[in-house]
Amino acid sequence: MRVAIAYCSWHHGNTKKLLDAIRQSYDVTLINARECKQADLSDYDLIGFASGIYGFNFDESVVEFAKNNLPSNKRVFLIHTYGVKADYTKQMRRIIADKSCRLLGVYGCRGFDTFGPLKLIGGIAKGHPDENDIRGAVEFFRKVIESG
């Protein structure tokens, strides 16, 4: 099974920690959406989008990458890290639905966050993603793969 994950993880590298752990156990192609604007994903069986949350959404580079590169009728999953838990996937879900793709699941966990005024207090969610968060991401990915 060919798997690609387009991602953005630039502030503290929280999301990349999850993806690196997945890549240690599975053969996946990671695509940095900030560096790569166009990619042919038609030969991939499974496509993921992963991002830290910036301004209450996935990073704009990931959103634009999905809009411009996600083929129709693909199996898709989402991974994200956040400072405060909420539903940050609405915009990505809309893109996935517009492309007639099937969302297989969403994994989100806390990540160290120093956005805006949080920087003044030293940030929140220090130490995250931790080992439990990372194991959770790998387990989520295993279930997505097995869901066929």
* pLDDT per 10-residue tile (average), the chain, 148 residues: 95 92 97 97 98 93 98 98 93 98 97 74 80 98 92
Q: In order of start, what are the domains of the chain with their CATH numbers?
A: 3-146 (3.40.50.360)
Is the Cβ–Cβ distance between 9 and 51 less than 8 Å?
Answer: yes
Amino acid residing at 92: M
Smallest CA-to-CA distance from 19 within 109, 96, 92 is with 109
Q: pTM for the complete prediction?
A: 0.95
pLDDT at res. 124? 60
Angle between helices 90-98 and 60-69 (to 10 degrees): 10
pLDDT at res. 148? 64
pLDDT at res. 13? 84
pLDDT at res. 12? 75
Amino acid residing at 83: G
In the chain, DSSP finds a helix count (H) and a strand count (E) of 4, 6
